[in-house]
């Protein structure tokens, strides 16, 4: 799957988001190194702490399917925003847990523009297992 297809998949996934409180729909398409794409959407809860972001939904689903650290190639994140939609800090930390510094993060906006960054650029001073 190429970058444009991954971004389009993330944009389509927004329709599946469960966001009755914020109305802020987010879709994430996670590309694994074997070519598999795992879908993720944000799922809200009236107790906002129980809400899960689209990026973490996709990563946790990949882990449930048996994927391991190092199996992750790229993720496209899509929301209806004017600027590029970056992952929240919790999602960034989860990405650090499973992705390499060269893991591609494709940020999009409501106009379908794309900005590609690496995980290393997104989280330059990441907290890792080396810090334990």
Mean pLDDT computed over 73-95: 96
- Residue 86, annotated ligand binder? no
Which pLDDT score, from 0 to 100, does residue 26 have? Answer: 98
Write out the residue range of the structural domain in which residue 13 sits: 3-131
pLDDT bracket for residue 74 (50, 70, 90): very high
Question: Is position 97 annotated as part of the catalytic site?
Answer: no
Q: Choose the catalytic residue: 55, 97, 116, 121.
A: 55
pLDDT tens profile 13-57? 999 999 999 999 999 999 999 999 999 999 999 999 999 999 999
Q: DSSP string covering the chain, please?
A: --HHHHHHHHHHHGGG-B-TTT---EEEEEEETTS-EEEEE-B--SSGGG-B-HHHHHHHHHHHTT--TT-EEEEEEEES-SS--PPPHHHHHHHHHHS-TT-EEEEE-TT--EEEEEHHHHSTT---GGG-
- Residue 103, annotated ligand binder? no
Q: How many structural domains are present in the chain?
A: 1
CA 103 from chain centre, in angstroms, equals: 11
126/55: higher pLDDT? 55
The pTM of the full predicted model, rounded to 2 decimals, is 0.94
Which pLDDT score, from 0 to 100, does residue 109 have? Answer: 95
Q: Which domain CATH number covers 109? A: 3.40.140.10
- Residue 53, annotated ligand binder? yes
């Amino acid at each position: 799957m190429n970058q444009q297809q991954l971004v389009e998949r993330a944009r389509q996934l927004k329709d599946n988001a469960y966001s009755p409180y914020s109305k802020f729909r987010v879709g994430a398409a996670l590309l694994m190194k074997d070519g598999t794409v795992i879908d993720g959407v944000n799922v809200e809860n009236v107790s906002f702490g129980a809400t899960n972001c689209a990026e973490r939904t996709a990563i946790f689903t990949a882990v449930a399917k048996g994927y391991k650290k190092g199996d992750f190639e790229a993720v496209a994140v899509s929301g209806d925003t004017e600027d590029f939609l970056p992952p929240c800090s919790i999602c960034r930390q989860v990405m650090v847990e499973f992705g390499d510094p060269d893991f591609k993060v494709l940020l999009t906006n409501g106009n379908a523009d794309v900005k590609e960054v690496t995980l290393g650029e997104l989280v330059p001073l990441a907290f890792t297992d080396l810090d334990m």
